[in-house]
Structure 1
Amino acid sequence: MSASSRVAIEPFDGDNTDRLQAAIDSLSASGGGRLEILAGIHLCRGLRLRSGVDLHLAAGAILRPIPDYAAYAHTTVSVIAEKSDRGMIVAKGVRRIGLTGEGRIEAGCESFIIGDDESVGTFIPAEFRPRVVVFEDCDEVEISSITISRSPMWTLHCVGCTDLSVRNVTIENDRRLPNTDGIVLDACRGAVVEDCRISTADDGICLKTSIGPDGMAIGRCENILVRRCAVQSLSCALKIGTETHGDISNVVFEDCSISSSNRALGIFSRDGGRISNVRFSRIAVECRETPDGFWGSGEALTVNVVDRIAERPAGAVENLIVEDVTGRMEGAVSIISAAPAGIRNVSLARIAIDQQPGQLGTGRTYDLRPTNADLAPGADGGGRANAWTRGADGRVIGLQDYPGGMPAAYVADVAGITMNEVWINRPTPLPQGWNENDVVMETAAPDGSGAWQN
């Protein structure tokens, strides 16, 4: 974005919030411009961007938000995420805004960790954590060149935004802190995400359609292009869902690399919105098993449809293309409809993946989380809301054994799937617990109960 005026802010010994916010307000009132944060450390509480303002972090500048949830009581947002109703940098209903520059935002996640749950491989997060950036209902948005590190919760959350550009952004989060998603496009329309580098414990780049305060979908997500991004994720690197209250359509992920990750590519329908016209192209993957506290384990591709709430059935997944995918996985390709809406018209082409055994053995199950059981785990059952719940048998609910062992690809209740030049190289002899069939295709019971039938 172009800046007609420029205001520079030097580092300040103490809380710099008032100076920064006053400069933002003044620039916007005078027609817009660039607020340049100069090299040095700038402590602040919540900031609210106004129309026409580019918040620019110069090289060497460090914006260090105060690590206290109460410090953001004045920058609340409409869409609640994991109990979070506030952000460190927010904007709502404005246009022509930017968050740019070669500086850094150091978000202080360590102040929002209250324990270590080694049994599931994650830290225990504080109940309330702010997101770093939340832009709601904004138009003409540019986020470019900045680095954000140690986010306590979702890092970039764009909600209902149009004409959105996220370019050359680096995100470096703790790899054991849940809910630290990198880039979340929530009911956005017309967005490009390119040349970004993301390392996080949770989803890398995630498209979704959340529910608003009125209990209705906040909108639809459409016309999204993600390209040339490098992602490391212990959840799902390139993902659609799980919040799918509104429709999601016309999405392209291409020319990306995924390394040191759990799931690579994923689509998860849960809440009634239809997901259609999605393409994954020219993607290199490296997928490793993870402890069962993380959703999934080592899958190159996971697509599933599950009714999270019976009164609000999941929507269909239709017209999916996955092509020119190469790399390595310790799990399987898993495409499962466990709900009546179903999965239709899937094309897999020119896929070459080595399937190798992991050290944990968690890849030998398929994972249908999140389920209804994850909405509110019982105090006596163990678990964490929207993450995992253990049943009476001690197993995590939603984890299921592949029938006959883990195949290379498992397809259940999919209407119309083609596989052309799909090569999944498996070790000889097959490890214990692996299916002797490379591809297993099954159908579900008519009620979608998951009672698989040949």
Structure 2
Amino acid sequence: ANASSLKIIGGGRILGDGAASFTHGEDADMGTLVAHKLRPRALVLEGCRNVQIEGIHIHDSPMWTMHFADCDDIEIINVSVDNNRRMPNTDGIVIDGCRNVRIIGSSFRTADDGIVLKTTRRENGQLTGPCENVTVQNCIVESRSCALKIGTESFSPFRNITFEDITIEKSNRGLGIFSRDGGLVDGVRFARITLACHETPAGFWGSGEALTINTIDRRPEEGPAGQVSNIVMEDVSGSMEGTINLVAERAGDIFNVTIRRVSLQQQPGPLGTALTYDIRPTIDDRFDRFPKDKGAGRVNAWRFGPDGKIIGLIDYPGGMPGVFAKGIAGLLLEDVSITRPDHLPDRWNPETVVELDTANAA
């Protein structure tokens, strides 16, 4: 912690032995391992400045693989992360309240989020601070959760974030922004990305979406979720078994979203889980509200309502479209091509684009 001019360079390997040493069974419904409650992260740097990580390889991390908290001037070059695809909570790299970050020419293959930006709050109430000036280039990502993600922990702002020239392979969600805790998200660009997004079992958040942006109040007693603005998705191609999904709980809290030069093939998945849209995590998924009864779901992942259905999964009105936008202000679709089956499957919307509750920016 609090080091400066730190370099970790070379072709060495860090072997985490996560699947063998930090699990105690399998979850047959989810197809995942059941992990121990207490697990180490592979690499943690906090409060550091002028950091360079280059050429290292990390395998089978038990928990978050690389975690940078409240750091400034970070360069990650030619790093590879290859975790067990059935091991929960093994995010590839977590950029938590950091500034001036460059992730270049690296690969992240993991069961949880691939490259994720967060702005967390510590147990003592202190914030890690904003995420600003982050660039991710020329990377390969495979994730059973979300490949490129902002949130859900979002107590401080995110500004000036760029993901470009990235290949997303065999993933659940491709691109995601999830505002929950009050920090605004402003100025995010996803560019020149190829992706392949597939359905996952209902316990996983999301299912096969190329792009998901949503704002949900997780702590209404403290204040609303931060607004999301000035988002660009351009020059993106590939396939998805879900949709492009944009949902603002309060109309206008997501505004100025541009989607252009996008070519996607939308195809039915084998599970049918993409036929609902997912607003988890919600207020009901908070640790302090989750019931102790193990039969009620999994802590901070899902819980069942009185109707026996998972809370946070909502049927698309009229069926699943190619683009679903609810409560969005200033949505621009330009040269967007979504190829759908000639004969639409059951519960697919005949309209490729569905916009509801369009609004002016709040």
Q: Which band: TM-score by shorter chain?
A: over 0.9
When residues 322 and 445 of structure 1 are mapped into structure 2, their CA distance, relative to the original with a 3 A threshold, is closer
When residues 339 and 129 of structure 1 are mapped into structure 2, their CA distance, relative to the original with a 3 A threshold, is farther
Q: Distance in 2 between matches of 1:97 and 1:411?
A: 44
Q: Which amino acid in structure 1 is aligned with residue 127 of structure 2?
A: A
Q: Tell me how far 1:382 sits from its aligned partner.
A: 2.1
TM-score, length of structure 2 as denominator length = 0.96
Q: Distance in 2 between matches of 1:374 and 1:185?
A: 23
When residues 392 and 444 of structure 1 are mapped into structure 2, their CA distance, relative to the original with a 3 A threshold, is farther
Q: Distance in 1 between matches of 2:312 and 2:321?
A: 19
Which one has more relative contact order, counting CA pairs under 8 Å at least 6 apart? Answer: 2
Q: Tell whether 2:67 aligns with 1:157.
A: yes
Secondary structure class of the residue paired with 1:373: helix
In structure 1, list runs of 5 or more residues that go unmatched: 1-91, 449-454
Residue equivalent to 1:44:
none
Residue equivalent to 1:179:
89
Secondary structure class of the residue paired with 1:363: helix
Secondary structure class of the residue paired with 2:209: coil
Residue equivalent to 1:403:
317
Residue equivalent to 1:355:
266
Q: Tell me how far 1:378 sits from its aligned partner.
A: 1.5
Q: Tell me how far 1:293 sits from its aligned partner.
A: 1.6
Question: Contact 1:307/1:339 (CA < 8 Å) preserved in 2?
Answer: no
Q: Distance in 2 between matches of 1:341 and 1:217?
A: 27
Secondary structure class of the residue paired with 1:229: strand
Q: Tell whether 2:306 aligns with 1:379.
A: no
Alignment map for 1:258-277 (pairs within 5 Å):
258-277=168-187
Q: Tell me how far 1:217 sits from its aligned partner.
A: 2.2
Residue equivalent to 2:33:
123
Q: Distance in 2 between matches of 1:396 and 1:317?
A: 26
Q: Tell whether 2:254 aligns with 1:343.
A: yes
Secondary structure class of the residue paired with 1:434: coil
Q: Which amino acid in structure 1 is aligned with residue 227 of structure 2?
A: A
Alignment map for 1:45-194 (pairs within 5 Å):
92-110=1-19, 111-194=21-104
Question: Contact 1:330/1:357 (CA < 8 Å) preserved in 2?
Answer: yes
CA RMSD of aligned residues (A): 1.6
Q: Tell whether 2:149 aligns with 1:236.
A: no
TM-score, length of structure 1 as denominator length = 0.76
Q: Distance in 1 between matches of 2:334 and 2:316?
A: 24
Q: Distance in 2 between matches of 1:258 and 1:278?
A: 18
Question: Contact 2:328/2:359 (CA < 8 Å) preserved in 1?
Answer: no
Secondary structure class of the residue paired with 2:171: coil
Q: Tell me how far 1:445 sits from its aligned partner.
A: 11
Q: Tell me how far 1:224 sits from its aligned partner.
A: 0.4
Question: Contact 2:203/2:302 (CA < 8 Å) preserved in 1?
Answer: yes
Question: Contact 1:305/1:341 (CA < 8 Å) preserved in 2?
Answer: no
Question: Contact 2:251/2:327 (CA < 8 Å) preserved in 1?
Answer: no
Q: Distance in 2 between matches of 1:137 and 1:220?
A: 13
Q: Distance in 2 between matches of 1:239 and 1:379?
A: 29
Q: Which amino acid in structure 2 is aligned with residue 329 of structure 1?
A: M
Question: Contact 2:252/2:329 (CA < 8 Å) preserved in 1?
Answer: no
Question: Contact 2:251/2:358 (CA < 8 Å) preserved in 1?
Answer: no
Q: Tell me how far 1:210 sits from its aligned partner.
A: 0.4
Secondary structure class of the residue paired with 1:433: coil
Q: Distance in 2 between matches of 1:385 and 1:308?
A: 15
Q: Tell whether 2:333 aligns with 1:419.
A: yes
When residues 386 and 442 of structure 1 are mapped into structure 2, their CA distance, relative to the original with a 3 A threshold, is same
Q: Distance in 1 between matches of 2:202 and 2:335?
A: 32
Q: Which amino acid in structure 2 is aligned with residue 385 of structure 1?
A: V
Residue equivalent to 2:189:
279
Q: Distance in 2 between matches of 1:203 and 1:395?
A: 25
Percent identity reads 49
1:388-428 Cα distance to aligned partner (Å, 9 max, x none): 11222222111111111100010000011100000000001
Select which of 427, 436, 443 maps to 2:357. Answer: 443
Q: Which amino acid in structure 2 is aligned with residue 245 of structure 1?
A: F
Question: Contact 2:276/2:315 (CA < 8 Å) preserved in 1?
Answer: yes
Question: Contact 1:121/1:293 (CA < 8 Å) preserved in 2?
Answer: no
Q: Tell me how far 1:103 sits from its aligned partner.
A: 1.4
In structure 2, list runs of 5 or more residues that go unmatched: none
Residue equivalent to 2:281:
370
Question: Contact 2:250/2:327 (CA < 8 Å) preserved in 1?
Answer: no
Question: Contact 1:299/1:333 (CA < 8 Å) preserved in 2?
Answer: yes
Q: Which amino acid in structure 2 is aligned with residue 122 of structure 1?
A: T
Question: Contact 1:338/1:444 (CA < 8 Å) preserved in 2?
Answer: no
Question: Contact 2:252/2:327 (CA < 8 Å) preserved in 1?
Answer: no
Q: Tell me how far 1:264 sits from its aligned partner.
A: 0.4
Q: Tell me how far 1:96 sits from its aligned partner.
A: 1.0
Q: Tell me how far 1:309 sits from its aligned partner.
A: 1.2
Q: Distance in 2 between matches of 1:98 and 1:383?
A: 42
When residues 258 and 105 of structure 1 are mapped into structure 2, their CA distance, relative to the original with a 3 A threshold, is same
Q: Which amino acid in structure 1 is aligned with residue 80 of structure 2?
A: T
Question: Contact 1:305/1:343 (CA < 8 Å) preserved in 2?
Answer: yes
Q: Tell me how far 1:444 sits from its aligned partner.
A: 7.9
Number of aligned positions between the proteins: 356
Q: Distance in 1 between matches of 2:27 and 2:317?
A: 30
Q: Which amino acid in structure 1 is aligned with residue 277 of structure 2?
A: Y
Q: Distance in 1 between matches of 2:212 and 2:297?
A: 23
Moved over 3 A (4+): none
